[in-house]
Chain A
């Protein structure tokens, strides 16, 4: 499968716990994006990388959120001290520079 993959697909956690999500982009794509989507809304941008450099972060990305892309390949998104408001679908996308973005299946987070 040469598409974007995300792991896990579903995560249920208790409030206050830390969670980490992984995204594997399409191999030749140098850009990787993270978005968050809540029910009935379109995805909202969180952050993006060009290779290993994190170039932009949204105001939505509070200091409890951190993302990395070591070596410019896969990326991780960590949420510390989760809150119920963090419950959402977390989507990863990749693209070749400013081209067409291709999305993964998403990770659905439920914070109890």
Chain B
């Protein structure tokens, strides 16, 4: 079964700290991987999309990496701010572009001022 796991489930850090969120997946045959942010009771905001041929993507203070051989992706957040507090979801499209996203359960991040 193709699964996505995110550890830890929750993380609390002081403002200004750099942090890494982890995502692992069970099958290295992926098409692409997407990181999302979700605020409580809201929809998902796309942060970064990494195609299977790419190793990393950057947007502002965010950097996502992809290692297919080990079945891992990381989301690096630099100089965290209280406004970064949210749940971060990793989602993988396995095999081909015609399959749906498979989501992890997310990491709930709290950045303390």
- Give chain A's interface residues, CB within 8 Å of chain B: 4, 6, 33, 35, 40-45, 48, 55-56, 58, 91, 93, 97-106, 108
Residues of A near B102 (CB, < 8 A) are: 45
Q: B79-92: contact bitstring with A at CB < 8 Å (1 yes, 0 no)?
A: 00000000001010
Q: Which residue in A40, A45, A102 is a CB contact (below 8 Å) of B100?
A: A45
Whether the pair B104, A42 counts as a contact (CB closer than 8 A) is: yes
Query: Can you list 12 pairs linking A and B with CB atoms under 8 Å apart?
Result: A33-B101, A35-B103, A40-B105, A42-B106, A58-B100, A93-B44, A101-B34, A101-B91, A103-B43, A103-B45, A103-B46, A106-B42
Q: Dominant SS at the B interface? A: strand
Please give, as numbers and ranges, the residues of chain B lying within 8 Å of A55 by CB-CB distance: 98
Lowest 6 A-B CB distances belong to which pairs?
Answer: A98-B97, A42-B103, A45-B100, A103-B44, A105-B43, A100-B49
Which residue of chain A has the shortest Cβ distance to B102 in the bound complex?
Answer: A45
Q: What CA separation (Å) do A62 and B42 show in the bound complex?
A: 25
Q: Number of contact residues on B: which range applies?
A: 20 to 34
Give A45 to B4 CA distance when docked, in angstroms.
13
Within the complex, the shortest CB–CB distance from B95 to chain A, in Å, comes to: 11
In the complex, A42 Cα to B44 Cα: how many Å? 10
> Quick one: given A43-B44, A106-B43, are A56 and B100 in contact (CB under 8 Å)?
yes
**Complex interface bits, B40-60 against A, C-beta within 8 A gives 1, otherwise 0:** 011111100100000000000
Pair A91/B43 contact, Cβ less than 8 Å = yes
What residues on A are CB-neighbors of B36 within 8 Å? 103
Q: Can you name the residue of chain B whose Cβ is closest to the Cβ of A92?
A: B43
